[in-house]
Every structure is written in C-alpha cells, then in structure tokens.
Structure 1
Amino acid sequence: MALRDTSIPEPSGPVPGATAPALSPEDRGRLLAGAHHDPHALLGAHPVPGGIAFRALRPFARSVSVVTGGKHTPLVSEGDGLFSGVLPLAEIPAYTLHVAYEGGEQEVHDPYRFLPALGELDLHLIREGRHEQLWQALGAQPMTHEGVAGTRFTVWAPNAQGVRVATDFTYWDGTQFPMRSLGASGVWELFLPGVGEGTAYKFEITSRYGHRFLKADPMARRTEEPPNTASIVTASHYEWGDTEWMAHRADTPVHEAPFSVYEVHLPSWRPGLDYRQLAEELPAYVKDLGFTHVELMPVAEHPFHGSWGYQVTGFYAPTARLGTPDDFRFFVDACHRAGIGVIMDWVPAHFPKDDWALARFDGDPLYEPGDGRRAEHPDWGTYEFDFARTEVRNFLVANAVYWCEEFHIDGLRVDAVASMLYLDYSREDGQWEPNAYGGREDLAAMAFLQEMNATVYRRAPGVVTIAEESTAWGGVTKPTDTGGLGFGLKWNMGWMHDSLEYLAHEPVHRKYHHHEMTFSMVYAYSENYVLPISHDEVVHGKQALVSKAPGDWWQRRANVRAYLGFMWSHPGKQLLFMGQEFAQGAEWSVEHGPEWWLLDEGYHSAGDHRGVRDLVRDLNTAYRATPALWQCDTRPEGFRWVAVDSADDNVFAFLRYDAEGRPLLAVSNFSPVVRHDYGLWVPGDAVAWQETLNTDDPRYGGSGVTNPDPVKPEDGCVRITLPPLATVWLTPFAA
C-alpha cells in the first residue's frame, strides 16, 4: 500500500454522465461514524439509471479516479473523503481506483467490489459452535480472492453497530475500511486487496452505545512484541522435519509409556535467547538429562511479563518476545528431531481485563458472562470465560486443536481446572448461584472440558491432555462417554503437598508424619497421575526444593536425592521444574532464570550441584530402561508395599512390576543413619538382587554407602545396607 511519487495522469475516457445518487443522511452519517452494517451497499460499483455508480471512501485523498481499460475517470468529491460518479456503462467493469494524496498516489483494487470471502459452510459452523479449525475462518487470512492477492479480515462482534479495519498504514484510523456484517452469525468481514503479511492491524469497533475503540484481533496468529499490542497479518511457510516423530507419536498410550517432564519458562531458561537459539540448546540439554518431554509455561501472547504467561491476551499467537510463529515451529521441530515431546501450558480458565483485548470486546460482555458475579475471577483480577456460550466454547476448543495441529504440540497441560469446575470457587455465600440441580458444579465448564478433550483426542492422535486439578472431583481422567472429563493425565497435587510436607520435617520428627508419604497409595489408581514438582512450588516464599529440606548443606542435598529417587519410583509420571535438577538453593526468578553459574568449574560447590544433576540423568536413564517403573502406572497390580509401616525407621519400601510381572524393589531411608542388614521381603525365586541405583553414590555427592555385590534372598528376604538419607533400587537376576 506504499505511495508512489508520480504525476497525476490526465483524465481520459467518458466524463460521468450523471450524478451518483446521494447517500441518505442516515446512511452517510452511519458510514462515516463506523456504525454501518453494510458499507458494501454504499461503496463500490452499483447499477443505477444511466450507468454504473462508483463511490469510494478515501479520507485525505486529493482526488480519486476510476480506471477501466487503462482509462482514468475522475470522481467528484462529496466531502468527508467520499468520492462518487456515474459512468455510462451497461454493466460493472473490471476496475481499479487511482488515488492521489499530497505525498504521492497509488492505484489499488477497490475492496468494495468483492463478494464475501467467507463461505456459508464456515458461517454455519460458527453459528453452530462446531468450527474445529476456527482460525481458518476468523482473523486475518492472506489469500487470493477473485484472482486478487490480499487479506481477508473477519471478526466475531455480534453486539457491534459497526466494525472497521485500522492498520499501521492508515495511522490506526479505521475510517477507510468499514466491514460488512454477515448476518446472524455476528461475523464481520472485509477483503483488503494488496494487504499482505507483516501488516499491523486492529479492529475499530463501534458499540451499540455509540462508543468507539480499537481492539486487537482475538484470533491473531501473530502479534507485535509487548508492550505494543497490535495484531500482525501472518502465514506459515515452515517446512516440518518431524515426520517420523508424528507418525509414531500415538504408538503407545501415554499412561503405559515412560513420561518424565522437564518444566521450563522459555523466556527465562536462558534469558536473551529467542526460539531458534533455544532450539539449539534446550532439546540437547533435555535429551542429555533423559527427560521424555519438555513442558512450556504458557507461550501464548501476554502483555505482562510478570504473569509468567498465565494472563493471555493472544490465545492464537506465540509470544513475539522470542520470535515469529514459524520460529516457534522451528523450536518444536527441533525438540521432536531430538526425540523430545513438547507439552504446552494452556489457560482457558480466565483472561485479563486489558481494554484493547477480549474484555467487553464489542462493548458488551462477550467472551465473559454477562453476570458480573460470574464474570469476575476473584483470585486473579481477571474475567472468566462464558463456557455456556456456543461461540466462546468454540473459540477455546478450536484453540486447543490449533496448537496441536499448527504447531505439532504433543500435550496440553490445562491450568486451573478446579477454578472452572466449581461455581463457588473462591466465592462466599451470596456471590454465586447454584446450577439447575442445586449443586455447585459448573455444568457448562464441565461440558466444555469434555468437548475439548474429545475433540483433541479425535483430531490429534498421540496428544495428551493434562489437568491441573486440585480437588477430589471424580473422573477427571475417565473417558467422556462414561461421564468423565476425558483428560489423559492429572497432576497429583495431594502427593505433592504431602510429600513436600514430609520432606520439610526434621528426620527425628518424620515418624509422626509417615502417613504423608504412604497416603497417596490409597488413591493412586483413582486417576492417571503426574507427580509435579512445578514452578508453583519454588516461588513466593515456598523456597527451592533443596532449601525445603532440613539439615546442613550435605543433608539437604541428600534429602533431595532421596526424595527424587522416591518420586521416580512412585506410581505416576514425573515433572520437575528447571533449576531443581541441579539443586539451586534460591527460588526461581522470572528475570534471571536458573542459577547456571552454580555449575561452573570455578564455583567451589559446583561438584555438589553437578552431582544432583547427574543423579537426575541416571534416574531418567534407569527409568526409561525399566518398564516396571512406568508400564503399569495406572494398574494396582503394578505396585506392592514391602515396608509401609516402618515409621520409626523412616523407611519406605515397595515393589513395582511391569506387564510381564518383572519387579523392581525401591527402598527409601529418610533417616540420617545407616541401617545395616535391613531385611525386606522379596517375591519369586530370583537367585539374587542387584543394586541398580543408589542416591548415596559418591558420584552424586553421597557418602558412598552402597551394596556393590548381588544380594541373595534367604527365607524370602534380602538383607541390605540402607545408606543415610537415600533411595536405592534393586532388580533381580532370573533363576
């Protein structure tokens, strides 16, 4: 749309033979005010008595001419940027507009000569709330329409009087580009010829109350880098290299496969790196440590860096802080080529109140409920989504599909599920209304989560959805056709809270809290669980993992090593937040990220930190090689207590079994004393048991109390030496 400095050609061809019919004062006023539902009926070319009437809206233009067959016919100014005229033609010709400004001139296609670029099927699916690829219908879509290259702009704003496209090249004035309403769908549409990728835009909305304001595109697939807030026209040109990964992603159900997750906040993992630079470092690091997946704290666009991504304004756009959408695809592709799955935190529970984003989008509550008590999220100063509204539910379901299909995401960890499920969540009496059955469950949110899960699993085989759900809601990971919510996995918040409480106690007091480590097995098979030591547990005064443990520096590290060994052998998948893999002592800082300097050769305690990291690597290596630790995670026959009531000893021992019945014996001693000749029952007729992992190994910074030789059972028991504050794993030799 750049202007070119040329002289204005002399007009040629027929002079208008008749004056274009004047706009009615009402139409003219509504058009210029951005409050007309059908600007195409007023602008463009239309048959009239005596020929074809042309009318263009070009604010600040000195002149406008119609160009037909290479001939220029000037239009007459009607004031306020309107130009019109009538050509004595029998039918509407192919034409362009020649527009002259003070600084130059341009020849352009007239946006108001094009038919709608959005089909009836799209509109039908939008009305029904069943458009599973909504991003292909709404937003800014570069395309060729009626043989002309440009961009189709569409937006859902059913309460608006009018909507216009405002762009960087119109200096954010939308007067020139009013959109048309496509009827009962509530969708507004305009095809702008000549507008392509890289154009910054917003929608200028006139509410039913006459207020006018600019809004970013809810469906924007690329945005300006914050603090700028405009949407950017984009299209993907990325060529994926993960064909093999995608072909085999669904080979093994996730609950029967090894699944250990490294949680990362991308902007702070290595501050200053963009998506492509991260692609060079993060997959290699995660692979070296043996994790199967990396989980990204939210990467969807968000204005406030301090929200860590959990207050999303651009649900369809990877944050521009780290690069373009294709740069993010490059990062995901690099993870896949390294054999690493990518899980993304997804935040459908709420959205911020920024006035340029989703809040009161068309002047009325639209994405949020109309009832203010239900709209306000009491904990976070945000709005909740209106899960009962068909179009809003479609917006979110399609968004989940979008990340899986467009970015090859392998899993969605859904944030704050409990806040969606309960009408009285963080609300006092009188601040909420029961559902139709008198209960506190949000039936609309439940239906949304079921629809989202069912749709994602149908459309994206091999993808897993994971619920961060902190209550005892039943059936979170049960199939939707049996009344469950349909998630693949659920964070085990009970295990996390109980086990961290136990870890924090001095060993001398732990016998009084023994149940905090055993209670999880009472409900271990009620859902398909992930054991999460996430970012939430190492911020806001909760302390880093190693700093939660009591004792001196050696004891704290030993406690953490024992805890990680217990965690990796406990039924359920594992998740560990960055920095905890090498026992950094400080809480996570979003500004500085992990304290990598603790691993530097010149640091006096670097060996201590590297020892914990080496343990995590060996835990993952042994874990992946031992089906007993993951194959029967969701089946009770995969677990058996050996020592469940040894509270006075601070000892826990259990067996894990794979699908073939092959066992692994895991023993944790959370006392700082060595226990010699400790007897433990073992099954079968194995000739001997061999220690395969010991967190007290000197390589990890331990004291070196190990069982180097195979241990032979006697009378169904093995007698081993339990190192202090340590976990050991043993596996049998076959008879």
Structure 2
Amino acid sequence: MTVRTASVSVQPAAAASLNATDRGRLLSGAHHDPHALLGAHPVPGGVVFRALRPYAQAVAVAIDGTRTRLDDMGDGLFSCVLPLDAIPEYTLLVTYDGTESEVQDPYRFLPALGELDLHLIGEGRHEELWTALGAHPMTHEGVLGTRFTVWAPNAQGVRVCGDFCHWDGNTGFPMRSLGSSGVWELFLPGIGEGTLYKFDITRPDGTHTLRADPMARRTEVPPATASIVTESSHVWGDAEWMAERAAQHPVHEAPFSVYEVHLASWRPGLTYRQLAEQLPAYIGDLGFTHVQFMPVAEHPFGGSWGYQITGFYAPTARLGTPDDFKYLVDALHQAGIGVLMDWVPAHFPRDDWALAEFDGRPLYEHEDPLRAAHPDWGTLEFDYGRREVRNFLVANAAYWCEEFHIDGLRVDAVASMLYLDYSREPGQWVPNEHGGRENLDAVAFLQEMNATVYRRNPGVVTIAEESTAWDGVTRATSEGGLGFGLKWNMGWMHDSLEYMQREPIHRQYHHNEMTFSMVYAYSENYVLPISHDEVVHGKRSLVSKMPGDWWQQRANTRAYLGFMWAHPGKQLLFMGQEFAQGAEWSEAHGPDWWLLDPAYGAEPDHRGIRDLVRDLNTVYAREPALWQRDTDPTGFTWIAGDAAEDNVFAFLRHDAHGTPLLAVSNFSPAVRHGYRLGVPEDIPAWHEMLNTDAARYGGSNVLNQDPVKPEPHPTHGRPTSIQLTLPPLATLWLRPA
C-alpha cells in the first residue's frame, strides 16, 4: 500500500486516553476485554484508534492510502481520534529500530469462534474440541492469520506470546474473554504454520505464568516446551482399510495378535517416516494383525516412556511432525496392519509450564489435594467430575481416532482411576456419596469416552489395562458396564509367568496357576499381555525368566508362546521377545537386533523363536477355532486339565461350526511316549500342524507322524483317544486331517 501524509486534523490526546483502571489492567495483562480498548471505536467527534505496541518508536494508521501518526501515550500505548463518521478499513504502520512494517490490527476483528462452539464447550459436550480450542490457521474476515483460543476460567487476563514478540510477555497480544465459557480468544493476522507460541496467563493473585497450549497439535522437540502453530497437508491413502475396518466383525470375534512397540527405541534414531519404511514390513512378515505404540503424545521426560504426558493432542516431536506420524499410520494401514496406541487419561505431570494449576488454581486436577495427588507417580489426577475436563479427555480419545486414523486405544492405569482408595491408606480418601470406594466421576467419564468413541468411529476398539475384579469392564454401557471392547488379562499374565519361572519338578504343585484363568475366562473379553512392564525393572526378559540351561530356557519360551496363542483371548507380545532377547528392555538402546544377524556371530536359536512366532501368527490367522469364539464358553473344552504330575495341559478350541483344534502342552523336560488323550469320536484322523519342538525353531525335533488316528480306547471320558509323543518342554497343535 502506498500511503501519504494525513490531511485530517487529530483531536486532543485527552479524547484518546484511557482511564487509569483500564490502562493499568491492560498493561499488566489483566484485562478481560482488550478489544473494547484497542482497535477502532466510535467516540464523540469521530473514531478513536488505539494500539498497544511496547518498544515501538512510532505507530500510524493507514486509511485509503492516507497515514496518520498516532500519539505516543506512554508505556507502548498509541492513539488518536480522527473525525470520521464510521470505522473504515485500515492497517497499522509500526516502526521498530527505524524499520516500518504494515500490519493488520488484531483488535479490529470480531470473534473467530462461533456461539455453537461456546455453547458446546460450556456444556462439556464438544466432541470435536480440537477444532474449537488451540491454534488454528484460517482466513477470517478476508485476512490470513491464526485464531488462538484457550480455556482459562480463573485467569484475570491472557496474552498470546511467542517468537513473534521475542517471548516477552509485555509485548504479547492480550486476548478477550468470551463470557462465562472461560474461553479466551484472539485472531492474530499474519501468523501461520510453524509459529512458536505460549499463553501468558495472569493468575487470580496478579502473578504471571507462561503456559504451553493444552490443545497444541504440535510442539517443540523436548526439552524445549513451546507449542507450534500447525495445519495438516497429509493426504490419506488408507480408504480401503478404513472401509473394511468399519464393516468387519467385532474385534473379540476376529484374529487379533499385537506387537507392542516403543517407537523411539525400536530402532533408535529412526523418524516416523523412516519407521514407515521398516516397521510395516517387519510386523507384516511376522504376521501380527496389529501394532501397539507405547504413548505417542508429547512428554517432557523420555524415561517415562510417554506415560507422563504434557501435550495430549500432539504426537511427540522427537520423531517428526504430526503429518509424519500420519504417514507412519497410513503406511501400516496400507500394509494391512491395524494401529493401536496407549492412551493415558489417568494422570499428568506437575511441570509448571503445562497443565498443573494451569490458570493459577486447580483446573484440570481435582481441587481437593487428596484427590488431585497421585500417590504412586508424583503426578496429578484429572478431575473427572468437571465437565470441561471430561470433555477435554473424551474429545482427545476421539481426536486420535479421527485425525490420525488410530484403530484402538489401550487405556492405561484404569484401576487407579476407578477406586478412590487406590494406593491410599485410611484417612487419605473420602468415600463416595453412597459410602463406597468407587470413583463415580471416573466411571461416568470412562462410560462416556467409550460410548463416544464407538459411536463416532466404527471398527475402533478400546482396551482397558485393569487389574482388579471390577465387574463389567467390557460390558456395554447400555447395560451398566464401562463399555471397553477388550481388557488386559493381568491375572493370566501373573499366574502363568509364576508357573513358568518354577523348575519343572515343582510345577506339579502349582498346576492351578495355568488352569485358574479358565474359571473366569468368559467374564470379560480378554487380551493376554506379555507387555513392556514384564521385561523391565529387574523382572528379566521373557526367555530369562525361564529355568534351566539355555536350551531349556528357549524350549520353555517356545512352549509358553504356543500355549498362549492357543489359550482363549487375544495376544500381545512386546518387541524383542519375538526373538528371545536375553537382556531386559531399555529405552536407551532398544532390542538387541544383532542377535538375529549372522554377520555378528548371532546364534540361530534366536531366529528359530522368531520363526515360531511367525508360524504361530500364520496358523492362528487361518484357524477360526483359535479366535472366533474367544468369548463363548462353548468354544473351549478341557481334555486334560488335571494332569499335574505330568505337567501336561490339553484342550480343544472350537470354531463357529464346531470344528475343533487340539492344543497340548508338556511343561516337563521329559519326552512322553504314547501319551493318550481322549478326542471327539467323529474325527477320523488328526494332523500335527504346529510343534514348538521342531528343529527349525531350535527344538529337538520330536514330532508325531501324520496322520494321527484315533483308537476305540476310552480316555478322559471319551470313547476314542489318540496316542501322541509329547516332546520335552513343547506345545503341539493338531487339527482334523
């Protein structure tokens, strides 16, 4: 724009000045409505133009090519009154260090957030909250810029600051309060993709705190903590996957085997896009149906593995941008692999730039210190009874599923949410309104989250990490349940690992540790997890838990995996365990991949167990008996559940048509020749389709010749039976020939 010197007269400065109260509040960042003071406003005698530009040498207003210099009112305030009948289109000419820049005035714009958004936020029912709060590049009233919005109901004032104002709170841009919603809003022209920002909040006591945006969709790489303005340009290529996901059977009636991954350490140093080139091929080769990422949301301390989150809406910047993360999910989908992720709504850390006492008072955390402080992790628990907080979390669950096409959320630490007395001594907690220990607010939140996610995202699954006997974790919310699709079977995991760690000679006295799971197997829809939690902090890796020499340790591991894949429930295995890594996992270096590389003298023993995992997944996927009736008691029958002295377990799995699969595990190092098992009389012959003792897996190659034919010899209450040779420390799978 070409401008010329003003030809209009300027009214006296007194007409453009502010009263002492408004001036003081504005300059201290404590004014609720800066738009009423700054910008252009009709006044007696014309229109007042007022700008707050600390450290500016001069400010002028440009109207239709004509410029008028504003009077310097001190403290960065500039103003004048022009004899105009109406507020015109105008820009500001701001001079710093002798350089003049023409800019749009942020305070000439109407709010860029709609009344419906505010209504839904106030009701705690904005299911797409990420579209309303945070930083959003947009065109508003014909001008490009970014709308900033933040919920801070206790603040006296809020200013946006960032790299555009040299992180000086005094030069930040004051936001306006949008009434009783507690939301503050400002449209900043000329601000766009890549801009770093935070909110400078004036607390109720007048002090200031600089906070990252709770709704930030992108962050700086830790340890830096700024939020970043972002917008997505990723074009999804997984339409076929998404359509099939929506149309498929429920997860509990489908094959579901999960490879759990810590992205930053799977192969250290890889970005999201580099992972997209390697991870789908590796998981696809092993035959897992899904990958589960340990928490992806931004977290300040890498050693927390992502379980102490500060940026609930932002994928960690350590590995790339949000679009880079979308690229990884897209690549996995196009390879036919579902993507699950850990989601952590149970707590958040106390970092003073994040959520803790966000606007000067407890906001996201409970106002009762006993309810707010998590007793185990030094963190804060969310206030699930506050509708805006509940909305923040429910929308967050939907956000990951909808913006990043995540296929399932594994919800961390559900037990710590459900109980008021979790890890608390008497006197440290207060019973609920009915006198019980249940956290009714958390129950309502989990029900709302599950119902919302399932309604909005067909084919998505939610999974509870819940270690207690809470009734109805996977029961529908309409029937009073929590509404999860699946639940981790922590009891099975604990009992079976306790059994496996015992010397075989002692296992007969603990036989029930392997059979007890079937007493409650159909009380919920279960996942059998051997997760990262079981291979850290001195618990040893899976193979290192096993007794005996190296051969026996590997044989025990193979037999256990065969038993696990045949047991009712879905499977989850943490990275490194698929090739019997001997060392505990460490986020500092990840799996010991060299164990698989012959160039480094690697033993074939590790490759053999990886080959077994591949075959387990392959056979599992094609045998409906192993997954179709996981939650139906008629899908399982014990053949020998009481053979304690032999350390043997034998059972049948049945598909929807009744076709059986026979699984037999011998957890003794002795070969058992001619071991007789009762079988259904209508099967003319059996085929051994998997034997964990096969030589290609590193076993002793004790196999059964095909076909195995039944004999009219009553055993186990059945008129016919078969004789098998049971290899040492091995599991067999047989199906009708």
The Cα of 1:602 is off from its aligned counterpart by: 3.0
Q: Distance in 2 between matches of 1:49 and 1:174?
A: 33
2:722 to 718, 723, 729: 718
1:64 to 56, 59, 80: 59
Q: Distance in 2 between matches of 1:18 and 1:49?
A: 12
The answer as to 2:9 corresponding to 1:15 is: yes
1:40 alignment counterpart:
35
The answer as to 2:630 corresponding to 1:633 is: yes
1:77 to 62, 65, 72: 72
2:661 to 647, 659, 664: 664
1:430 to 412, 427, 450: 427
Q: Distance in 2 between matches of 1:622 and 1:33?
A: 68
Identity of aligned residues (%): 76
1:3 alignment counterpart:
none
Return the letter of the residue paired with 1:283. P
The Cα of 1:576 is off from its aligned counterpart by: 0.0
1:101 to 80, 92, 96: 96
1:197 alignment counterpart:
193
TM-score, length of structure 1 as denominator length: 0.98
Return the letter of the residue paired with 2:367. G
1:685 to 678, 682, 685: 682
TM-score, length of structure 2 as denominator length: 0.98
1:445 to 419, 438, 442: 442
Structure 1 residue matching 2:7: 3-state secondary structure: coil
Structure 1 residue matching 2:432: 3-state secondary structure: coil
Structure 2 residue matching 1:98: 3-state secondary structure: strand
The Cα of 1:11 is off from its aligned counterpart by: 2.7
Query: Is the 1:453–1:465 Cα contact (8 Å) retained in structure 2?
Result: yes
1:654 to 651, 671, 681: 651
Query: Is the 2:3–2:62 Cα contact (8 Å) retained in structure 1?
Result: no
- Structure 1 residues 517-536: aligned runs within 5 Å: 517-536=514-533
Structure 1 residue matching 2:174: 3-state secondary structure: coil
Give deviations 1:267-326, integer Å, cap 9, x for gaps.
Answer: 000000000000000011000000000000000000000000000000000000000000
2:715 alignment counterpart:
none
- Structure 1 residues 321-470: aligned runs within 5 Å: 321-470=318-467
Return the letter of the residue paired with 2:732. V
Q: Distance in 2 between matches of 1:120 and 1:684?
A: 71
2:19 to 17, 24, 37: 24
Return the letter of the residue paired with 2:723. R
Which sits farther off after the overlay, 702-711 or 388-397? 702-711
Give deviations 1:151-195, integer Å, cap 9, x for gaps.
Answer: 000000000000000111211123340000001000000000110
Query: Is the 1:301–1:320 Cα contact (8 Å) retained in structure 2?
Result: yes
2:491 to 470, 491, 494: 494
Q: Distance in 2 between matches of 1:365 and 1:328?
A: 32
Q: Distance in 2 between matches of 1:104 and 1:441?
A: 64
Return the letter of the residue paired with 2:26. L
2:733 to 717, 725, 729: 729
Q: Distance in 1 between matches of 2:520 and 2:217?
A: 42
The Cα of 1:469 is off from its aligned counterpart by: 0.1
Q: Distance in 1 between matches of 2:365 and 2:233?
A: 34
Give deviations 1:553-600, integer Å, cap 9, x for gaps.
Answer: 000000000000000000000000000000000000100000001111
2:287 to 252, 272, 290: 290
The Cα of 1:100 is off from its aligned counterpart by: 0.6
Give deviations 1:320-370, integer Å, cap 9, x for gaps.
Answer: 000000000000000000000000000000000000000000000000001
The Cα of 1:605 is off from its aligned counterpart by: 4.4
Q: Distance in 2 between matches of 1:81 and 1:21?
A: 14
- Structure 1 residues 103-118: aligned runs within 5 Å: 104-118=99-113
Structure 2 residue matching 1:462: 3-state secondary structure: coil
Query: Is the 1:18–1:50 Cα contact (8 Å) retained in structure 2?
Result: no
Return the letter of the residue paired with 1:310. Y
Q: Distance in 1 between matches of 2:222 and 2:9?
A: 51
- Structure 1 residues 134-153: aligned runs within 5 Å: 134-153=129-148
Structure 1: runs of 5+ lacking an equivalent = 1-5
Query: Is the 1:18–1:87 Cα contact (8 Å) retained in structure 2?
Result: no
Q: Distance in 2 between matches of 1:9 and 1:43?
A: 22
Return the letter of the residue paired with 2:647. N
The Cα of 1:14 is off from its aligned counterpart by: 1.7
Q: Distance in 2 between matches of 1:713 and 1:106?
A: 91
- Structure 1 residues 541-690: aligned runs within 5 Å: 541-690=538-687
Query: Is the 1:164–1:177 Cα contact (8 Å) retained in structure 2?
Result: yes
Q: Distance in 2 between matches of 1:192 and 1:684?
A: 78
Give deviations 1:618-657, integer Å, cap 9, x for gaps.
Answer: 0000000000000000000000000000000000000000
Structure 1 residue matching 2:466: 3-state secondary structure: coil
The Cα of 1:18 is off from its aligned counterpart by: 4.1
Runs of 4 or more above 4 Å deviation: none
1:169 alignment counterpart:
164
RMSD after superposition: 1.0
Q: Distance in 1 between matches of 2:681 and 2:120?
A: 60
Give deviations 1:642-676, integer Å, cap 9, x for gaps.
Answer: 00000000000000000010100000000001000
Query: Is the 1:301–1:312 Cα contact (8 Å) retained in structure 2?
Result: yes
1:231 alignment counterpart:
227
Query: Is the 1:15–1:73 Cα contact (8 Å) retained in structure 2?
Result: no
Q: Distance in 1 between matches of 2:205 and 2:478?
A: 44
Return the letter of the residue paired with 1:400. A
Return the letter of the residue paired with 2:414. V
Return the letter of the residue paired with 1:349. A
The answer as to 2:312 corresponding to 1:308 is: no
